[in-house]
């Protein structure tokens, strides 16, 4: 009787540790590297996909590299990953690799392969066309590997950050298309604002204020 009780306790402890370990492995940001599906339209539509799992049960889905994405809730139930009403089967989960299968689509199974963002960053090298030198400074062009993150919660991208600051400054009768470049240094300071497409002196002035 003692041996049986001990076995049950050890089994439950092992199962608990396994779930906890799985939860820790899942935390972080994952980037889609491949998708397997017979539906060519779905494969074409999902060009970029990023999943971010946080310790408080929050999950973010993004189809843009410079956005954290839409917030959802997630829950691990064994090998099932419940994302709101959608359920995905965890085919494989390792330190740097994740494979999920959408079990809700039995007629059109979808298997998605992810790699940890930190792994991708460590493996990918910056090419000569991804940056230029300005004196002793290295200036990187914004890309999937290098991009600024803004502190405002609802405006994590450069476009969203600028547009939010332009509210109330835009004249509804004016052209609203603009194109500008600027540099964000490692301290978060913005400099070298260069407006490539001019609308009016007033608009350009407001745009500079919004960027700064």
Q: Which fold has domain 7-121?
A: Lipocalin (2.40.128)
The rounded distance, in Å, linking the Cα atoms of 29 and 149 is 15
Domain borders along the chain are 7-121, 125-211
Give the model's pLDDT for residue 50: 92
From first to last of its 212 residues, what are the pLDDT tens digits of the chain? 444 444 444 434 443 435 567 778 899 999 999 998 887 777 777 888 999 999 888 999 988 887 888 889 998 888 888 887 788 888 988 999 999 998 766 567 789 999 998 888 888 767 778 777 878 777 777 777 777 666 554 544 556 566 655 555 555 555 566 667 777 777 777 778 777 777 777 777 777 777 76
Which pLDDT score, from 0 to 100, does residue 31 have?
92
Which residues make Cβ contacts (< 8 Å) with residue 48, sequence separation at least 6?
A: 31, 32, 63, 64, 65, 144
**Predicted pLDDT at 149:** 65
Which pLDDT score, from 0 to 100, does residue 80 have?
86
Under a CB-based contact definition with an 8 Å cutoff, are residues 178 and 171 in contact?
Answer: no
Q: What global pTM score does this model have?
A: 0.64
Q: Do the Cβ atoms of 185 and 191 come closer than 8 Å?
A: yes
pLDDT in tens, 122-178: 887 677 787 778 787 777 777 777 776 665 545 445 565 666 555 555 555 555 666
Name the β-bridge partners of 100: 90, 112
For the chain, give the secondary structure using H, E and C: CHHHHHHHHHHHHHHHHHHHHHHHHHCEEEEEEEEECCCHHHHHHCCCCEEEECCCCEEEEECCCCCCCEEEEEEEECCEEEECCEEEEEEEECCCEEEEEECCCCCCCEEEEEEEHHHHHHHCCCCHHHEEEECCEEEECCCCCCCCCCCCCCCCCHHHHHHHHHCCCCCCCCCCCCEEEEEECCCCCEEEEEEEECCCHHHHHHHHHHHC
Spatial distance between the Cα atoms of 166 and 36, rounded to a whole number of angstroms: 42
Among candidate residues 68, 66, 86, the one with its CA nearest the CA of residue 77:
86
Non-local (6+) Cβ contacts of 88 within 8 A are 80, 81, 100, 101, 102, 103
Residues 165 and 194 sit within 8 Å (Cβ to Cβ): no
């Amino acid at each position: 009787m003692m041996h049986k009780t001990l076995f049950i306790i050890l089994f439950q402890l092992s199962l608990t540790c396994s779930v906890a370990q799985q939860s820790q492995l899942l935390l972080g940001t994952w980037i889609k590297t491949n998708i397997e599906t017979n539906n060519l339209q779905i494969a074409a539509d999902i060009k970029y996909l990023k999943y971010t799992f946080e310790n408080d049960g929050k999950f973010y889905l993004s189809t843009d590299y410079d956005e954290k994405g839409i917030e959802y809730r997630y829950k691990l139930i064994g090998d099932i990953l419940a994302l709101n009403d959608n359920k995905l089967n965890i085919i494989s989960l390792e330190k740097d690799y994740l494979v999920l299968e959408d079990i809700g689509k039995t007629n059109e199974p979808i298997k998605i392969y992810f790699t940890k963002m930190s792994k991708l960053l460590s493996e990918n090298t910056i090419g000569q066309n991804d940056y230029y030198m300005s004196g002793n400074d290295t200036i990187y062009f914004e890309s999937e590997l290098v991009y600024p993150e803004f502190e405002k919660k609802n405006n994590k991208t450069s476009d969203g950050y600028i547009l939010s600051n332009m509210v109330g400054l835009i004249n509804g009768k004016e052209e609203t298309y603009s194109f500008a470049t600027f540099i964000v240094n490692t301290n978060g300071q913005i400099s070298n604002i260069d407006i490539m497409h001019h609308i009016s002196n007033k608009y350009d002035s407001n745009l500079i204020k919004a960027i700064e």
